[in-house]
Amino acid sequence: MCISNETKIVRLTHRMTYRINIRRKSMDSDWQSIDLANPTEEHTMLRKMIRDFVLEEVEPQALEYDKNEKFNQDLFRKLGDYGLLGISVSEEYGGSGMDATAVAIVNEELSYSDPGFCLAYLAHAQLMVNNLAHNGSEAQKSRILPKVCSGEWIGCMAMSEPGYGTDVLGMQTVAVKDSDGNWVINGRKMWITNGSVDEHSTPADICWLYARTGTDSKGRAEITTFLVEKGMPGFSVGQKIYDKTGMRASNTAELVFDNCIVPAENVVGGPGESMIHMMRNLEIERIGLAAMALGIARRSLSAMNRYASEREAFGSEIRDFGQIQRHIGESWAEYRAMRSYIYDTARNTDLSKSGNRLDTDGVKLYSTTAAKNIADRAIQVMGGYGYVGEYVVERLWRDSKLLEIGGGTLESHQKNITRDLAKMPEKIEE
């Protein structure tokens, strides 16, 4: 029997109507109240806990440690007591077993007060600890994760070099296997957050290191991952980097590997597998950096909004002036856009694998520049008060600039997004 096109259309319409009605009936009646930034009670409790910690512990020390360009080790180790240093690590290794949304919450709340301190946290918890949790062997995880989750050990990740940053495959640090089965590493790494943990050139307790171990079949550099521990022969701090524009409450250092001997059991995966490790971890790193930008934006917006009501000029509150309204209005819109994009991206990111690069690049590209712009507007609204360290926004403005560089430059994100959309144009129509 031949069915007419009209009948087919009617049947299709009925099926679609039925499915929509079923979905409506099954949908939670409170779906409109869902907050992307606090999707569960657990996330809400986590945010409250960190806000209290920030108010009581982080805020009072932020200005001092920025001025002195020092890393607050004691405060950092307290994060381990709260389960934050292993926020994305399974509980069996001493972590909290939480998701990408939780990672974003922690980075946002810490950066509301002290982005420099938060950067040290991100370098440890996302760049090193999360990397090990998802890429290390069972023996490596069992031995090391409890120490880095508790704060007993402080970790770092070493990829950038004096002449190579975004160009990862150009790195010159080399590892060669010796006759005893150990690896001998030679080279220098630069701009390493937590590379030095104090003012005495003490290196990080554990370093997640990328080094060349050969050339693959296509003539490209073969990159391998090593776990380098403090005390291993040939591992030292070259210099601590001073006089940075921002992020001064975290230590940045050059690391030196001079015939550094690393045992075979400290190789993560097999030779040449580093690109897998990088791809799995870059996404959560970029969500974390974007969330740091959100914390900066929220604090800057709060400061300029409060000041606009307190300050008077020509007999009126300055919030009555059109240009001030423009600064506040545009900042609010950008802040809300950041918030939605960050937490939607976090919700759709699986920490155990890669596959969300388009939006993790996008959210970092947008949010880091937006944060810098909002901090800049806050300074403009507050005038002279905004320009001095005591009033916070000056420090936030300085800190925000690094977020456009670290974890991938703006230009690298633009390149990646363009390439990905060429391969997946359907993403635009979703």
CA 58 from chain center: how many Å? 19
Task: Give the whole-angstrom CA distance, residue 119 versus residue 59.
Answer: 15
212-224 burial: b if 16+ Cβ within 10 Å, else e: bbeeeeeeebbbb
Q: Is residue 191 part of a domain?
A: yes
Query: Is 226 strand, coil or helix?
Result: strand
CATH number, domain of 318, equals 1.20.140.10
Question: Phi and psi dihedrals of 366, rounded to 5?
Answer: -75, -50
Q: Is residue 220 part of a domain?
A: yes
The whole domain housing 243 covers: 156-271
The reply to whether 50 and 120 lie within a common domain is: yes
The reply to whether 212 and 264 lie within a common domain is: yes
Give percent of the chain above pLDDT 90.
79
Minimal CA–CA distance to 190: which of 219, 223, 221, 156?
156
Q: Which residue has the higher pLDDT, 203 or 35?
A: 203
The reply to whether 280 and 332 lie within a common domain is: yes
Tell me the pLDDT band of 167, cut-offs 50, 70 and 90: confident
Query: Choosing from 285, 334, 394, 404, which is the catalytic residue?
Result: 285
The reply to whether 150 and 160 lie within a common domain is: no
Q: How many domains does the chain have?
A: 3
pLDDT, tens only, 299-335: 999 999 999 999 878 888 888 899 999 999 999 999 9
The reply to whether 236 and 319 lie within a common domain is: no
The reply to whether 49 and 86 lie within a common domain is: yes
174-177 vs 155-158, strand pairing mode: unpaired
The reply to whether 281 and 424 lie within a common domain is: yes
Q: Is residue 49 part of a domain?
A: yes
Task: Give the whole-angstrom CA distance, residue 342 versus residue 363.
Answer: 6
Show which of 127, 154, 181 is a domain's final residue. Answer: 154
The reply to whether 304 and 263 lie within a common domain is: no
The structure tokens listed for 424 are 């997946």
The structure tokens listed for 346 are 């976090």
The reply to whether 305 and 416 lie within a common domain is: yes
Show which of 126, 154, 182 is a domain's final residue. Answer: 154
Show which of 139, 154, 169 is a domain's final residue. Answer: 154
The reply to whether 254 and 351 lie within a common domain is: no
Are the CB atoms for 80 and 145 separated by under 8 Å?
no
Task: Give the whole-angstrom CA distance, residue 25 versus residue 22.
Answer: 5
Q: Is residue 28 part of a domain?
A: no
Q: Is residue 12 part of a domain?
A: no
**Is 285 annotated as catalytic?**
yes
Residues contacting residue 347 through CB under 8 Å, at least 6 positions apart: 36, 39, 100, 101
CA 184 from chain center: how many Å? 31
The structure tokens listed for 101 are 């949304």
Query: Is 390 strand, coil or helix?
Result: helix
The reply to whether 79 and 204 lie within a common domain is: no
Tell me the pLDDT band of 353, cut-offs 50, 70 and 90: confident
The structure tokens listed for 225 are 């991952």
Q: Is residue 257 part of a domain?
A: yes
Q: Is residue 219 part of a domain?
A: yes
Q: Is residue 23 part of a domain?
A: no
Task: Give the whole-angstrom CA distance, residue 305 versus residue 28.
Answer: 36
Arithmetic mean of pLDDT over the chain: 91
Provide mean pLDDT across the span 229-242. Answer: 96
CATH number, domain of 124, equals 1.10.540.10
The reply to whether 264 and 292 lie within a common domain is: no
Residues contacting residue 225 through CB under 8 Å, at least 6 positions apart: 135, 208, 209, 210, 267, 268, 269, 273, 274, 277
pLDDT, tens only, 84-117: 999 999 999 999 999 999 999 999 999 999 999 9
CATH number, domain of 251, equals 2.40.110.10
Are the CB atoms for 205 and 153 separated by under 8 Å?
yes
